[in-house]
Amino acid sequence: MSKRASPIRAASAAIALASMAVSVGAVENGAPITPFGVFDFGAGTLPPPSEFATVGLRTTFYRANELRDNAGDRSPVGLKLKVDSIGLAIVKMTNIELFGGTYGAFAVLPFLDMKNDLSIPTPVGPLALSGKNTAQGDIQIAPVVIKWTPSPGLFTNASLQFQLPTGSYDKTRIINAGTNHWTVSPTFAFSYIMSSGFEVSSNIQLNINGRNKDTDYRSGIEYQHEFAAGQHVGPWTLGLGGYYYQQITDDKSAGQTVPDARSRVMALGPVVNFFELGSGWPLVWLHAYKEFGAKNRAQGSQIALRAAWTF
């Protein structure tokens, strides 16, 4: 394994955690549930124990101009969606041993600027609807995070994450920074860095959503798989990343199954990571993803810039 591999990845998960969702789907009101398009290079790593903590910042810009229906065809409903977000992640790893690894925890505090313009066809002409929300999103915490290094070049971690209904929410709005329900997300991630410097990373997560008490709606369980593959060249890592998202159980409204409402989307795009040990610069990531294959949700593009510091 490259001698740079371990320090390069030391803080990557910290900034990867600093995010907020930018999706609009079959889930209730197209609300953000949990973030995806977050993890790329270094998904399996976590920062080392430190005196204070690792701090990450992530800014994301998402735009979509089309909705896709249950067949994957473009919907006649016009859409112009903008979601800009900034998130602060605080990660604290320790030397405490747990299940053969080391224990840590993290919290993520997101803030979103969201706007959605809809044009709905009717027999008497298009009906225009517009909504916006600039506010705090749902806070995420992971009281249990465990990292392992099973072999040279292989880094893994698992966590149990909770998304709390702390974000701004009003059931009369067409877009909300908060979801008004709990979400529990078990995750597993890995990064494998070969002696040649080639890296493969992935993060797999399930999102188990609670019921929105104001609308009596419960979104289905979501599967999300994020990945990246690329080559280390000096302080740079260059490659391709993306995600696959699939809703695997049905939504329920007032206890009844909502038919043909499961959402799906995929994305691919370039990823760049920079870190030079001893330079004083933070770890920095940049990716640009284009979505495709969407069903029951918006299909758009995302640009994300991340940075992380360990204190």
Q: What is the mean pLDDT of each run of 10 residues along the chain (311 residues)?
A: 39 31 47 72 91 92 94 94 94 96 96 94 92 95 97 96 95 92 96 97 96 95 96 96 96 94 95 84 93 95 92 80
Q: What pLDDT is stored for residue 51 in this prediction?
A: 86
Q: What pLDDT is stored for residue 250 in this prediction?
A: 95
pTM, rounded to two decimals:
0.88
Q: What pLDDT is stored for residue 127 in this prediction?
A: 93
Q: What pLDDT is stored for residue 37 in this prediction?
A: 81
Which residue, among 33, 15, 9, 7, has the nearest Cα to 185 in the 3D structure? 33
| 119 touches 178 (CB < 8 A) | no
Q: What pLDDT is stored for residue 11 in this prediction?
A: 34
Q: Is the sign of the CA dihedral 171, 216, 223, 274 positive or negative? A: positive
Q: What pLDDT is stored for residue 98 in this prediction?
A: 97
CA distances 159 to 2, 230, 302, 304, Å, are 27, 25, 25, 23
C-alpha to C-alpha distance for 240 and 75, rounded to whole angstroms: 29
